[in-house]
């Protein structure tokens, strides 16, 4: 049984300011990697630059990370880091900037390599890396993985290298400016991580603790997602706690079939990552329950649902419907079977089983 969680995490109000000295001590010049707007709007970028200025650490900002970041964006930011002689990387934002920043840490730490190194299996040491999450889904601040888009191959997938952040500075206050839609999409990603880590080939008792605790926290967040209650400062810290805890669980197991099925929905239908995963969770649990219903019972109990039908109805209500063309569902099933990702599911599953999940989750037209 293995458990490995090398990132030092601080989750608290004013986390960046409180632990600025530790962040600033990781290098002599920082490259900040972020998206175009949100880090400036929610105050996280200013918190980070204030701290760097306080400790006299020069920095440059790369703020061109797009949704579902491409390896080309990573290469562009790495070129800037290398040219400016930055020796550590700070990622600020949701999963896209954090994942892109992990790729940058690899490329800028190995300037002799080209962009293809991101998907090559060779040992490459990243630059020191700090993660400041501003959404409550990805868990990227505590996982080693980075999902990047490879436009030439029309594919999304984890890069080959592990980049565990040296430091994660987590603060729910950055969620206060998020729309309800963003809160739903990202927290459903955290829910998906908790479920998939719990129902995974690599699950063990250590990571059960993390996925089960994340599910328990998530159940308390439901009224804020449905609009029955208004979130306050304390609630936003709970949203962050659910996503970092779920991240600690998938850091041990990786994700499973719903995530694998979600990538084509994001690439071809433009569905946000968390929603795309969320569509498949109830049907995944139903499929799993054919083999080990007690694990699914455990999840439903922690979330506070009487049965799978109630959970399925809740998710469909929260996420709305999603249609898919029949030929696309066939392609997704074929590609999942040929990818070998069915090994993340603890029981044998064939194409019919994958199609059952797809058909129960989406409106196949």
**By the criterion CB under 5 A, which residues form the site for Fe ion?**
189
| Long-range contacts formed by 268-273: CB under 8 A, 24+ apart | 268/328, 269/322, 269/324, 271/322, 272/67, 272/185, 273/68, 273/95, 273/137, 273/185, 273/189
Quote the least distance from Cβ 96 to Fe ion, whole Å. Answer: 12
Helices (H), the chain: 15-18, 20-24, 38-41, 44-54, 71-83, 95-109, 180-198, 205-225, 233-253, 257-269, 273-289, 293-303, 308-319, 326-339, 351-361
Question: What's the closest the beta carbon of residue 279 comes to Fe ion, in angstroms?
Answer: 13
Nearer to Fe ion, 86 or 214 (CB): 214
State in angstroms the smallest separation of the CB of 141 from Fe ion.
13
Calpha distance 4→203 (Å, rounded): 13
What's the rounded Cα separation, in Å, for the pair 214 and 251? 13
Least separation, in Å, of the C-beta of 196 and Fe ion?
8
CB nearer Fe ion, residue 38 or residue 145 = 145
Taking the C-alpha atoms of residue 167 and residue 127, their distance in angstroms, rounded to an integer, is 12
Nearer to Fe ion, 61 or 225 (CB): 225
3-state secondary structure of 45: helix
Q: Which residue is nearest to Fe ion (CB)?
A: 189
Q: Rounded to 5 degrees, what are φ and ψ at 191?
A: -60, -45
Q: How many CA atoms lie within 13 A of 273 on its CB side?
A: 25
Residue 38 or 68: which CB sits closer to Fe ion? 68
Q: Which is nearer to Fe ion, 35 or 95 (CB)?
A: 95
Q: How far is the CB of 332 from Fe ion (least distance, A)?
A: 17
Which residue number, 190 or 324, has a Cβ lying nearer to Fe ion? 190
Name the minimum Å distance from CB 234 to Fe ion: 25
**Least distance from C-beta 277 to Fe ion, angstroms?**
6
Q: Is 323 helix (H, G, I), strand (E, B) or coil?
A: strand
Q: How many CA atoms lie within 13 A of 295 on its CB side?
A: 23
Q: Which CB atom, from 141 or from 189, has the smaller least distance to Fe ion? A: 189
């Amino acid at each position: 049984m293995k458990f490995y969680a090398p990132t030092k995490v601080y989750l608290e109000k004013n986390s960046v300011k409180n632990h600025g000295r530790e962040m600033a001590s990781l290098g002599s010049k920082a490259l900040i990697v972020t998206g175009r707007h949100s880090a400036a709007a929610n105050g996280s970028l200013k918190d980070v630059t204030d701290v760097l200025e306080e400790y006299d650490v020069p920095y440059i900002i790369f703020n061109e990370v797009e949704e579902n970041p491409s390896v080309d964006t990573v290469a562009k930011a790495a070129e800037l880091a290398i040219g400016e002689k930055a020796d550590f990387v700070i990622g600020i934002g949701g999963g896209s900037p954090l994942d892109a920043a992990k790729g940058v840490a690899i490329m800028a730490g190995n300037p002799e390599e080209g962009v293809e190194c991101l998907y090559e299996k060779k040992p490459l040491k990243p630059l020191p890396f700090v993660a400041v999450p501003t959404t409550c889904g990805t868990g990227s601040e505590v996982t080693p993985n980075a999902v990047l888009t490879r436009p030439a191959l029309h594919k999304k997938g984890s890069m080959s290298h592990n980049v565990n952040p040296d430091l994660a500075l987590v603060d729910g206050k950055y969620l206060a400016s998020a729309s309800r839609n963003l809160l739903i999409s990202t927290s459903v990603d955290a829910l998906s991580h908790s479920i998939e880590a719990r129902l995974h080939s690599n699950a063990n008792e250590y990571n059960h603790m993390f996925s089960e605790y994340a599910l328990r926290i998530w159940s308390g967040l439901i009224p804020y997602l449905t609009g029955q209650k208004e979130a306050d400062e304390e609630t936003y810290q709970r949203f962050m706690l659910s996503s970092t805890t779920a991240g600690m669980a998938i850091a041990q197991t990786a994700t499973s079939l719903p995530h694998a099925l979600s990538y084509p929905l994001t690439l071809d239908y433009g569905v946000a990552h968390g929603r795309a995963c969320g569509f498949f969770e109830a049907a995944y649990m139903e499929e799993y329950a054919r083999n080990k219903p007690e694990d699914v019972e455990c999840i439903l109990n922690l979330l506070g649902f009487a049965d799978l039908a109630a959970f399925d109805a809740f998710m469909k209500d929260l996420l709305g419907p999603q249609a898919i063309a029949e030929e696309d569902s066939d392609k997704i099933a074929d590609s999942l079977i040929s990818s070998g990702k069915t090994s993340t599911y603890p029981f044998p599953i064939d194409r019919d089983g994958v199609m059952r999940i797809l058909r129960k989750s989406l409106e196949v037209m």
